[in-house]
Chains A and B, each alone.
Chain A
Amino acid sequence: MIWYLAQRLLQAVGVMLGVTVITFLLVFLLPADPARMIAGRSATPATVASIRSELGLDRPLPVQYVSYVKGLVTGKMGRSYAQKAEVTRLIRARLLPTVQLALAGIVFELLIGLPAGIMAALKRGTGVDQTVMALAFVGVSAPQFVVGLLLIYFLSYLLPIFPLGGYGTPLHVILPAITVGLAGGGWYARVTRSAMIEVLRQDYVRTARAKGVFPTKVVFKHVLKNAVLPVVALVGLDIGVFMGGIVIVESVFGWPGIGQMIWQAIQLVDIPVIMGGVIVTALFVVVGNLLADIVYPALDPRIRYS
């Protein structure tokens, strides 16, 4: 396992490099001029050129990239073009809320999705199953913005149970997490259900049942462990993707996450902030998928890594 982890660490470096190169290229492919965006509309061409040079944007692309990576290695992500503040500081300010929302979101996804999916699989073909299936589709089809707005309107405004958006107490995270959890929960429910049905069909499960092993034990020991594999995959991805921020939810609930920061940076072509955001995302994607890969053998001992 140690050897495996060491390998993955090395590969992680490769992934990060890959992501940064691609993003760097993409950002510079954008027909947008960061210097122009900062200089604003009344600036003379001399001012724009001066700003461009101050930001080092007139250097050839590979030179800029190498300089950027050098900074990364020493823990520096440069300064935001628009704010002039250090990117690491900007990210640090938003990191904890992003983690909190990501984790809370995943918890709700599982809370909503797993029991629903299991129930639907066990009661396959009945009204319960069809209701769960339909609800899952509704959850996934409903636009997050609308869900968030509705939740706030009914549970924060009409009935003052929750705060009207914002950040600070555990109560603040519930509605945003539910918004995330409804859509993701729908996915988790369906995937769990189909994976469970799939496993329930296996010969060895039938055999266990035939042998008279108590049904609950059968379900929870063998079936669930194997059925949950694709869900683990989704959770791993969610960790990574959520850590890149969930802009819509952050925006509706006023949650100070990384997503809003990256979105604004893209509008302003604030390259250091964009790169910083992408790097944070890539880091957590790697971590999330790695965690999932480590969990698989725990669930199914026959899975091994060389």
Chain B
Amino acid sequence: MASGSAAKAVGRGSAVGRAPKWVRRFVGNRAAVAGLIGVLLVLFVSIFAPLLAPHDPAKQYFDGLTLEGFPLPPERPFWFGTDLLGRDLLSRVIYGARISLIVGVAANGVAVLIGLMVGVAAGYFRGVPETVLMRITDVMTAFPALILAIALAAILRPSLWIVALVIALVNWVWIARAVYAQVLSIGRREFVEAAGALGVGTFRTLVKHILPHLVSTLMVFGTLGISTTVLLEASLSFLGVGVQPPTPSWGGIINESQSYFLNAPWLVVFPGVSILITSLSFNLLGEGLRDALDLSERR
């Protein structure tokens, strides 16, 4: 990432100049700062949604639709246009940030964590744990999540946490297999074997020698996965598992309007760009932090 004049600007004398090295490296990285701003923006919007939203996201305006029932394009007083029920899209996108954050960051985060543990355990310890874990991974990949979602929707009270659970249950296999592949390769490197010979504890070995090599991959899954998870949440809520109408979520808005894309593109563009900005921001922030803290360089 380019550092440029920002680095010089924060150089001497300022508060940042006296800050720890990693902060300075971070601030000097334009992309990382952009990411931080993006994340803070999304957080801000989701926390202060009630204050920011110009309208009630659930209010269906009789005049929010044309006489033939078609949504309105972006134009005052609906700055993002209206949706298929005549509701203000801007307000819905603002409120939708909460769902997307919880699902995209938390649920995805849990999936990454589970996948990490499974992949490392299988790839490092080999033998029986490897077989058992990898075969479980096979089963979970073939597992019909759709049916689980429908079953849960009918049995339990729909809630966001069930969605998060289903997402975590389903997505971890990708991280597990990718991590497993990398750990297989790392695990045999000379220094690891040497460390093992020296009697260094397993956990320490894992953290100090294996984990740093995985950080980049984990970063990718943790941030790119936000987009995929947000869209997945929409499908699950559609089946009745997660947030129920009229609670808005970005994926949900896209889901219900995507066939209108050629005629009412604003319905997909605004939430879609929001998803993009969110996951991109987290990625820039994450990579910026990683570079600044020099995580994967640590030996």
Contacts and interface: CB of A to CB of B under 8 A. Distances in A.
Interface residues of B, number: 58
Interface in B136-186: 137-139, 141-144, 146-148, 150-151, 154-155, 173-174, 177-182, 184-185
Nearest to A302: B188
Interface stretch (B16-24, B74-82, B202-210, B220-228): B220-228
A107 interface: no
Interface stretch (B65-73, B90-98, B211-219): B211-219
A233 B279 CA distance: 23
A285 B142 contact: yes
Given A15-B138, A153-B262, A296-B184, A191 B220 contact: yes
Contacts of A11: 131, 135
B130 to A, nearest CB: 9
B2 interface: yes
A142 B224 CA distance: 12
B184 A141 contact: no
A206 B49 CA distance: 50
A133 B216 CA distance: 14
A137 B254 CA distance: 17
Given A30-B147, A302-B185, A286 B138 contact: yes
A233 B178 contact: yes
Interface stretch (A16-24, A40-48, A171-179): A16-24
The winner among B138, B142, B184, B228 for most chain A CB atoms within 10 A is B142
Nearest to A304: B188
B219 A194 contact: yes
A141 B272 CA distance: 7
B296 A201 contact: yes
A237 B279 CA distance: 23
A234 B268 contact: no
A246 interface: no
Contacts of A18: 135, 139
B225 to A, nearest CB: 9
A230 B154 contact: no
Contact of B184 (A198, A244, A300): A300
Contacts of B220: 187, 190-191, 194
The winner among B131, B147, B188 for most chain A CB atoms within 10 A is B147
Contacts of B62: none
Contacts, number: 164
Contacts of A37: none
A68 interface: no
A125 interface: yes
Contacts of B144: 23, 26, 274, 278, 281
Contacts of B154: 30-32
A289 B279 contact: no
Contacts of B297: 201
Contacts of B36: none
Contacts of B46: none
A24 to B, nearest CB: 10
Nearest to A16: B142
B48 interface: no
A116 interface: no
Interface in B93-138: 126-127, 131, 134-135, 137-138
Contacts of A6: none
B142 A282 contact: yes
14 contacts: A15-B135, A22-B139, A133-B283, A137-B227, A140-B279, A141-B279, A194-B219, A198-B216, A233-B181, A274-B147, A286-B138, A289-B138, A292-B177, A302-B189
Interface of B: 1-2, 31, 126-127, 131, 134-135, 137-139, 141-144, 146-148, 150-151, 154-155, 173-174, 177-182, 184-185, 188-189, 213, 216-217, 219-220, 224, 227-228, 231, 254-255, 258-259, 261-262, 268, 272, 275-276, 279-280, 283, 296-297
Given A15-B142, A302-B189, 9 more contacts: A15-B139, A22-B139, A137-B227, A137-B283, A145-B258, A195-B182, A201-B296, A240-B138, A286-B138
